[in-house]
Homo-oligomer: A and B are copies of this chain.
């Protein structure tokens, strides 16, 4: 009986697909029943066209991961997609994904991918699935309650209480729009003084451009040109920090200060056990900045005798895709 069970576990019927749909790249994985990655693939997110082009790129990326895993996509038990924008899980649609090209309207992403790939597709919020992955498989495993902090293009947040996502009326966890300076800097969202206005990579880049126009020097934009990029990626920020670029250090210091303040406010409200820092910048800057974020929180923590544990997301860049694959399990359960 045991060997029969093992055999079942090893067949492709227990394989699942997971896709992390980001503004910069599409990450796909194919995992087995033990959450082991059997195949993975990565492609840049289309910067032109519309939702149908993005869906085609997603399908191509997942096919590549499936080939690497030695399975057909139609043999997958299901496919989960972690997406930005407004997700309607029941209808399988994504609306207003502003970081994706031409995606102001509503697009039936789940049906489109299911038809293309021949397997059921389930959608989830990108930040939420990455947090779920850390809870189930990563740094969040020991904790009953935690706050996920995703430091990337923007600053995303996700709240887990009693090991379940707290979604409120649907959009809970908007950590990036917790105010850190009343009447402060303009956020990409249009509001004043949000955490994301100081710590989102997009806002940090705008601020760097302003400072350069004011005559400040930095190698950030040279590095960008050299790498053939049009945006300051997490890797470029990391390189500039390593080179001792003063402007990069100043802006990252300001970001860390704002994250410390906003996360401490969230902890004063929620009093959760742990904080998991992920996202492009969070994962890339890793341990050093984990300690600095913990230190920046401390002066604002009401109960500074028992600060929450602060960890870097353990699953790194694959967390989003692994969490998306968990959506399939969720449906099966």
Contact = CB atoms under 8 A, between A and B. Distances in A.
Contact of A170 (B157, B181, B271): B271
Q: Interface residue tally of chain A, by bracket?
A: 35 or more
Given A161-B161, A182-B261, A273-B169, A268 B177 contact: yes
* Stoichiometry, copies per complex: 2
A265 interface: yes
Contacts of A266: 269
A262 B193 CA distance: 12
Given A257-B182, A265-B265, A168 B270 contact: yes
A268 B174 contact: yes
A168 B177 CA distance: 22
A52 interface: no
Contact of A182 (B145, B174, B258): B258
A276 interface: no
Contacts of A182: 180-181, 184, 257-258, 261
Interface string A253-280: 0000110011011101111110000000
Nearest to A299: B191
A289 interface: no
A171 interface: yes
Given A169-B271, A171-B271, A271-B167, A299 B192 contact: yes
A81 interface: no
Contacts of A159: 269-270
A272 B172 CA distance: 8
A178 interface: yes
B174 A302 contact: yes
Contacts of A157: 269
Nearest to A189: B302
A137 to B, nearest CB: 24
B161 A265 contact: no
Contact of A270 (B172, B179, B302): B172
Nearest to A303: B171
A84 to B, nearest CB: 14
A270 B268 CA distance: 13
A159 B180 CA distance: 21
A133 to B, nearest CB: 21
Interface of A: 145, 157, 159, 161, 166-175, 177-182, 184, 189, 191-194, 257-258, 261-262, 264-266, 268-273, 299-300, 302-303, 306
30 contacts: A159-B270, A161-B161, A161-B166, A166-B270, A168-B270, A169-B271, A169-B272, A171-B271, A171-B303, A172-B269, A172-B270, A172-B271, A173-B271, A174-B269, A174-B271, A174-B303, A177-B265, A177-B268, A177-B300, A177-B302, A178-B268, A178-B269, A179-B180, A179-B264, A180-B182, A181-B181, A182-B257, A191-B299, A192-B299, A194-B300
Given A161-B161, A192-B300, A194-B300, 16 more contacts: A157-B269, A168-B271, A168-B272, A169-B271, A172-B269, A173-B271, A174-B269, A174-B302, A174-B303, A177-B268, A177-B300, A179-B265, A180-B182, A181-B182, A182-B258, A189-B302
